[in-house]
Structure 1
Amino acid sequence: MRTVDTHFHWFPRSHFEAMAARAEYPRTERAGDGYRYYYNEGRGFLPLPAVWFDLDAGLAAAEAATGPETAVVCTTGVLSGLLDQLPAGDAVDIAAAYNEEIAKAQRTHRDRFFGTAAIPLQDGAQALAVLEHAIGELDLRAVNLPPVSAGDAIDAARLDPFYTRVAELGVPLIVHPTDLVFGEALSDYGDALQRTIGRLFDSSVTVLRLIFAGILERHPGLKVVQTHGGGFLPYQAGRIDKNARQPLPLPPSEYLKRTFVDTVTPQALTVRTAMEFYGAGQVLYGTDYPCWSPRAATGILGEARLSDAERDRVLSRNAPGVFDLS
């Protein structure tokens, strides 16, 4: 059975060329063979060297670590929230073009590369239209969820029709950290604070909002994938239950255990904690390529001392059902 890397990054250059043509922020600037992606009115930027745009190299690295049958699920990663900073009309056009390029790569690398959709959420009707096209026509396998939308938190009531339709389509929401919410507050020490804890705050708060707002209660079939071993949440589940005041039928930790997490964490203890808290059926193999080495990712699995059955589930058996990789 093939291995599936569920946390893999690649970007089509056409998206960054389109963003380089913009005069306003967010926009990109070429930097050698890569780009700088400016956001938050130009107060922050992401350096993206050429490796982010070389899909053949990425697929080769994945296969070198776990064999020629390896498949990858490509996400928008830290860029998931940048559509929100665009005017609604521009966001729709840029998202549609991005999704088309991802779908083209999925067709070109059939059964080796699976794409996920970028959805602008500023306007509910437009979000649903882009969603229908990305999943129904382009056959993308998941939706990337940012932490904020048009100044609202991601649990805003206006987004409930969006969550309803995602649940009906059966595709998962991928919650990946961004630098939009905590980036400026944690800008000391270069980017060390933001990269080490700020990004985990970002994804953890996003998932808690989905739980506290009752979104996972109203949509029990909604699949949520949180990256980086679940951020801070599995380690503080008892505190979350103790301090929650939301009128939910179940403790928040019970909804949390319905979510999926990946193994992108450079520590075997975190992998073991995820396995114990969520269960072997909820943990997905991921490498965060090119931010992390696929060989290092598989090395951590070895250090975590998984049983053969656990390792098989994490590497191969869980992802096809979550992302419908048939």
Structure 2
Amino acid sequence: MSSASGKAIREPKVTAKAAIPTGGRREGAARFNLGAEWFDLDKQLAYMDTLEHDVDVICSIGPFSRHFSDLPVDEGRAAAMSWNEEMAAAQRRYPGRLWASAAVPLRDTDVAIEVVDHAIGTLGLIGVNLPGTVGSLDRIDAERLEPFYAHVEKLGVPIFLHPTDSIFPDILDGYNGALYLSLGRVVDISVSACRLVLSGIMERHPGLKIIMSHTGGALPYQAGRMDKNAKAAGLPLPPSTYIKRMYTDTVSPHELGMRFAVEFYGADHVMYGSDYPCWSPATALELFGQVGLSSADQQKIFYGNARRLFGLPDTD
């Protein structure tokens, strides 16, 4: 299961994350285990060392990314700056092994650009996290955010799009979180990505690098339906064209799901992910090995694609 280089890029949900939904917790809503595996880097990396792979870590904020846009503008700016400084410190503490991405408050567009410039230009972080919603007042396809997308496109850094546990809470409530955890995040990530497509943001900013978590949510499997029914959006190309321009990970507890993501996006647009600590990295590796990819494609997904997309130095 090793790539040809013997180096695997693993993409856990986040390092040092407080993954608590900001909108309050309903009966039956998702619950989080906030044990040491969520925040103790030494223990995280020690565990990964038991997997018989030489592992680098690219971390995202996961569902917590919305928190910074829920706060008032000044508080959101301060919280994001503080978070990003902590992530940069972790990146310095584990040079060449851990790479971190930035929190961005989106309530004010100018502040969002300021925080991104500080995170990428000053702190050296390697990507931007995008919540599916902007606090309780806005959406990620808001017209006012156009300069933000243009600026991130100019910087050339990827945007990591992850569910934020905030869409459709009513119809997904109950069953001790089983319904939400099974479908809620898939719906959330799919709706968010659709907004980037149908709004024309992906058309107007062809250089944007969008990473969709969880094998692309429902989009690969419903791309034909989008092409059939989305003509009213007035895009010059079918929606599936823009979806295939995105990138995704292999985070699916289903070998067929991983395989279809690779077939839909292409091996050049998929990166290996373990979803740690939400899922077992050992199981993720086992399922990925069942997909039956060539050594060349495994090398891309384990190693080459992340190095290229994030602009990381090659350590072979």
TM-score (norm 2): 0.92
Cα distance between partner residues in 1 of 2:200 and 2:259: 29
1:220 paired with 2:203, answer no
Cα distance between partner residues in 2 of 1:116 and 1:313: 21
Partner residue, 1:194:
180
- Contact 2:30–2:177 (CA<8 Å) still a contact in 1? no
Whichever residue aligns with residue 81 of structure 1, its letter is R
* Equivalent residue runs for 1:136-215 within 5 Å: 136-150=121-135, 151-215=137-201
Whichever residue aligns with residue 179 of structure 1, its letter is D
Task: For residue 38 of structure 1, report the CA deviation from its aligned partner.
Answer: 5.6
1:113 to 98, 102, 118: 98
Partner residue, 2:289:
302
Cα distance between partner residues in 2 of 1:202 and 1:241: 20
Partner residue, 1:97:
82
Q: Which moved more, 1:78-87 or 1:200-209?
A: 78-87
Cα distance between partner residues in 1 of 2:156 and 2:106: 19
1:40 to 23, 29, 37: 23
Cα distance between partner residues in 2 of 1:83 and 1:246: 30
Partner residue, 1:9:
14
Cα distance between partner residues in 2 of 1:267 and 1:289: 16
C-alpha spacing 1:7/1:322, structure 2 compared with 1 (3 Å): farther
C-alpha spacing 1:266/1:4, structure 2 compared with 1 (3 Å): same
Partner residue, 1:124:
109
Task: For residue 89 of structure 1, report the CA deviation from its aligned partner.
Answer: 1.2
Whichever residue aligns with residue 4 of structure 1, its letter is I
1:37-92 Cα shifts (integer Å, max 9, x gaps) = 36215657753223211111212233332523x11101101111122221111111
2:278 to 285, 291, 297: 291
- Contact 1:182–1:199 (CA<8 Å) still a contact in 2? no
Partner residue, 1:74:
59
Q: What root-mean-square deviation, in Å, do the aligned CA atoms of Structure 1 and Structure 2 show?
A: 1.6
Task: For residue 177 of structure 1, report the CA deviation from its aligned partner.
Answer: 1.1
Cα distance between partner residues in 1 of 2:297 and 2:200: 31
Partner residue, 1:22:
none
- Contact 2:156–2:207 (CA<8 Å) still a contact in 1? yes
Instruction: Extract unaligned runs of 5+ from structure 1.
Output: 17-35
How many pairs align?
303
Cα distance between partner residues in 1 of 2:70 and 2:182: 24
More strand by share: 1
Question: Helix, strand or coil: the match of 1:73?
Answer: strand
Cα distance between partner residues in 2 of 1:158 and 1:100: 27
Question: Helix, strand or coil: the match of 2:10?
Answer: strand
Cα distance between partner residues in 1 of 2:52 and 2:271: 14
- Contact 2:164–2:188 (CA<8 Å) still a contact in 1? yes
Cα distance between partner residues in 1 of 2:139 and 2:73: 17
- Contact 1:176–1:226 (CA<8 Å) still a contact in 2? yes
Whichever residue aligns with residue 22 of structure 2, its letter is Y
Question: Helix, strand or coil: the match of 2:66?
Answer: helix
Whichever residue aligns with residue 128 of structure 1, its letter is I
Task: For residue 110 of structure 1, report the CA deviation from its aligned partner.
Answer: 0.4
Cα distance between partner residues in 2 of 1:77 and 1:285: 16
Instruction: Extract unaligned runs of 5+ from structure 2.
Output: none
1:168-206 Cα shifts (integer Å, max 9, x gaps) = 111111111111122343111111111111101111111
Cα distance between partner residues in 1 of 2:20 and 2:153: 32
C-alpha spacing 1:184/1:61, structure 2 compared with 1 (3 Å): farther
Question: Helix, strand or coil: the match of 2:16?
Answer: coil
Cα distance between partner residues in 1 of 2:285 and 2:246: 22
1:85-108 Cα shifts (integer Å, max 9, x gaps) = 211111111111010000000001
Task: For residue 294 of structure 1, report the CA deviation from its aligned partner.
Answer: 1.2
